[in-house]
Amino acid sequence: MYFKLALRNVKKSYKDYMIYFLTLAFSVCLFYTFNSFQEQEAVISMTEAQFSLMAGVTDIMVALSVIVAFILGFLILYANNFLIRRRKKELGLYTLLGMPRRNISAILIYETLIIGIISLLTGLVLGIFMSQMITVLTASLFEAELNYHFIFSMDATIFTILSFAIIFFIIMVFNTFILNRYKLIDLINADKQSENLKIKNVYISIILFLLSMVLLGGDYWFAWHYPLDAFGLFLMPVTLVGCTGTLLFFMSLSGFLLKFIQTSKTLYYRKLNMFVLRQINANINSNFVSMSVVCVMLLLSIGALATGMNLNKTLNNSVRMSTPYDWSYSPTRNEHYEIIIPNFEEKVKALPIDRSQVEEEIFLHQYATQHNLADVFEELHINGSLLVSHELLEATPISAVKLSEYNKLLENFHEDPIQLADNEAYVFSNLNLISEDITKFLESKKSLELFGHAVTPINTEYDEYMMATTGFVGNEPMVFVLNDEQIPDDAKMVGTYWNVDLKKETDADTFSDNVYRAIDGYNETVPPEEQIMGSTDTRQGIRENSKGMAVIFTYIGIYLGIVFLIASAVILALQQLSQASDNRKRYLVLDKIGASRTMMDHSILQQLGIYFFLPLFLAIVHSVVGIKVVNSIVVYMGKGDLFGASIITGGIILLIYGTYFLVTYFGYKNILHQK
């Protein structure tokens, strides 16, 4: 009997359960999708290194899912609490009619089971289809061949069912505890309880608002101008000041917003604006803490989504720059950046390796000049210390390469060679951290004396090239290309690169093993100071590592970003729907005094629109500065596509946040207009 009653309650109140159901289904879908990675190996043709990276992604997602499970559990409890609050009067009537509390608890348990099973099945079905899309995306990120067939992860299904079974069990216990805690009078009079105003003094509100502007403005200025310092202080001062400013912003807003708008009589008395503004004022006043929390969560969501996808693009772009050759060997240098292996080039040319595997073998050299970055930037009053310390600028030398060797590098990138006059130079770099400073130097057309010759850069925009295949992006901050004869024979060599392009049928790892066997054989015959020592990088290895990092960053960003986005939308939606019943009496009064249905629906849309999009707007402002800070670290890896990542992030927010907004709007109307 109680099961039938619970089933009838769910059918009757399915519109009230829509937000709850939507949240559960979204959560299950996400949870299954990002825990089904292990099954993708069956349809994606991966190398051994990619399999290892994929296993790492799987482990990270499983560990992350434990954290996400706690977030979703809290969110589902919050949504369940909304349902209990909406039904207090109904539960009070059950008690008044003589139904024992244990039977009422049984009804709630059955209802939780029904909704849980339906949403679990729906979410799993959505998750299974979503995981197929993730599989295609994974193959695209890895640039691997996809031998597609429909995949299903039993492990992910079991993990998802167990996780949400625990959450549902906690909800059942929570409902029983809450029900036994309430007195009958509290249940019957639930709709008569109201929130008290937090701040009544307008002048105090204005002072708090100005203080919030000062805190946020100061935080923005510091983070914008000193992004690396802001990133280092992220967990304490910068975040604390930003959160305090956000809290004061929403706390003070309701105190003077209404008074401020009342100064415009035309706006205030137009249609139902007076009613809408008072509703918004009361909502913000009652829920300023939760709106502040939502704003911060939206900031985290935007940051995670945009940064994750931008890092993917950044890593992909950096691969082309950092892998000009199939295989590169860099000899060891001392603390003064000097090559400590004498006659390195002659020694490796004499190694007994199979050069029939080699398509082309190129040696590139880099020479020290008498200048460092601090000399150039300080003379032109370029404040490079905004991004890096003065000590680091002083410790970073400016180097030079020969024109003939640089043209060989350009040839490898399929670029046209350059020509220089005696008083000309060409500048390139791969350290994006100081890109603005280098550009200012180039635009100044300032001459610089190198090796006894005054030269002026001919370019105003610099190329981003590496002189060897390496995983260390940014190791050549500022390099001058000079005519060969301008670099003296006794110039100090700070870099020698042995670059090899292999024939198509040759495996880079196999070639590397052969080289190291030859080097080991040579080193056994000479004293330690004559031995060849260094490190090797291959294009294939760097690409595979980059693809693996791209997958990790992308999926972590999407996973956490969507979770925080759903949490934010659910909190706002449930707050508004829980207040809809209280506001129903007010709308009945509007109906009696002649307000049309269209005007009332429009007022609902206005009220929800401002309530939903005010924290989103402030979060977007926060994120502009926050992403600037994170991007100061990302530039170490190369240039990304922040605009494209922002467009995709905006689309995801519009889809999920917009869905919750529309569901809330129609649910709100249904509560107000029901008979």
pLDDT at 386 over 60: no
537 - beta bridge partners?
328
pLDDT band at 62 (very low <50, low <70, confident <90, very high): confident
Average pLDDT, integer, range 441-453: 86
Q: Is the dihedral of CA 405, 406, 407, 413 positive or negative?
A: positive
Q: How far is CA 200 from CA 119, 203, 255, in A?
A: 44, 9, 6
Mean pLDDT score of the chain: 79
Each residue's pLDDT tens digit, 171-204: 778 777 766 666 655 555 555 554 444 545 677 8
Report residue 601's pLDDT band, with 50, 70 and 90 as the boundaries. Answer: confident
Q: Among the listed ranges 13-27, 261-275, 563-577, which one has the minimum average pLDDT value?
A: 261-275
pTM for the model stands at 0.76
Name the pLDDT band for 432 (thresholds 50, 70, 90): confident
Can you give the pLDDT at residue 186? 56
Select the more confidently predicted residue: 662 or 377.
662
pLDDT of residue 73: 81
Q: Which of 151-165, 208-222, 401-415, 460-474 has the lowest mean pLDDT?
A: 460-474
Amino acid in position 160: T
Residue 638 Rama label (left phi>0; alpha psi -120 to 50; beta): left
Beta-carbon-side half-sphere exposure of residue 33 (alpha carbons within 13 Å): 28
Query: Ranked by mean pLDDT, which of 55-59, 106-110, 453-457 comes out on top?
Result: 453-457
Q: What is the mean pLDDT of residues 532-537?
A: 87
Q: Which band of pLDDT confidence, cut at 50, 70 and 90, is reported for residue 499?
A: very high
**Which residue reads 């009361």 in tokens?**
282
pLDDT at 487 over 70: yes
pLDDT value for 327: 92
d(CA 552, CA 209): 40
Cα-Cα-Cα-Cα torsion 538, 539, 544, 547, nearest 10 degrees, comes to 140
Paired with 534 in beta bridges are 331
Query: Does pLDDT of 584 surpass 50?
Result: yes
Lowest mean pLDDT among 13-22, 61-70, 302-311: 13-22
What are the residue boundaries of the structural domains of the chain, listed by start?
A: 1-193, 198-323+541-567+583-656, 333-532
Confidence check: pLDDT of 234 > 60: no
Closest by CA to 467, choosing from 326, 360, 328, 317, is: 328
Q: Which residues pair with 44 in a beta bridge?
A: 146
| Phi, psi of 263, deg, nearest 5 | -70, -20
Q: What confidence tens digit (pLDDT) does each residue in 34-43 have?
A: 888 777 765 6
What pLDDT was estimated at residue 334? Answer: 60
Q: Which pLDDT value is given to residue 195? A: 46
Give the pLDDT band (50/70/90) at residue 226. confident
Question: How far apart are the C-alpha atoms of 194 and 626, rounded to whole Å?
Answer: 37
**C-alpha 195: how far from chain center:** 37
CB 576 within 8 A of CB 608: yes
Confidence of residue 405 (pLDDT cuts 50, 70, 90): very high
Output the 3-class SS for 188-250. HCHHHCCCCCCCCCHHHHHHHHHHHHHHHHHHHHHHHHCHHHHHHCHHHHHHHHHHHHHHHHH
What is the rounded CA–CA span in Å between residue 260 and residue 452? 69
Q: How confident is the model at residue 412 (pLDDT cuts 50, 70, 90)?
A: confident
Higher confidence at residue 587 or residue 210? 210
Answer yes or no: is pLDDT of 64 > 90: no
Summarize the confidence of residues 546-554 as an average pLDDT. Answer: 78
Structure tokens that stand for 463 in this block: 């190329």
**CA dihedral defined by 70, 75, 77, 78, rounded to 10 degrees?**
140
Nearest residue to 603 via CA among 283, 187, 366, 280? 280
pLDDT attached to residue 385: 41
Q: Which residues pair with 538 in a beta bridge?
A: 327
Give the pLDDT confidence score for residue 592 in this predicted structure. 78
More confident position, 543 or 265? 543
Q: How confident is the model at residue 437 (pLDDT cuts 50, 70, 90)?
A: confident
Alpha-carbon distance 164 to 73, whole Å? Answer: 8
Give the range among 92-96, 121-125, 149-153 with minimum mean pLDDT. 92-96
Angle (CA) 668-290-555 rounded to 5° is 90
Q: How confident is the model at residue 401 (pLDDT cuts 50, 70, 90)?
A: very high
**Does residue 332 or residue 419 have the better pLDDT?**
419
pLDDT of residue 482: 94
DSSP lists the bridge partners of residue 428 as 463, 479
User: Does pLDDT of 168 surpass 50?
Assistant: yes
Which tokens in the block code for residue 393?
């600028």
Length of the chain: 675
Alpha helices in 263-389 (DSSP H): 265-268, 273-322, 344-349, 373-379
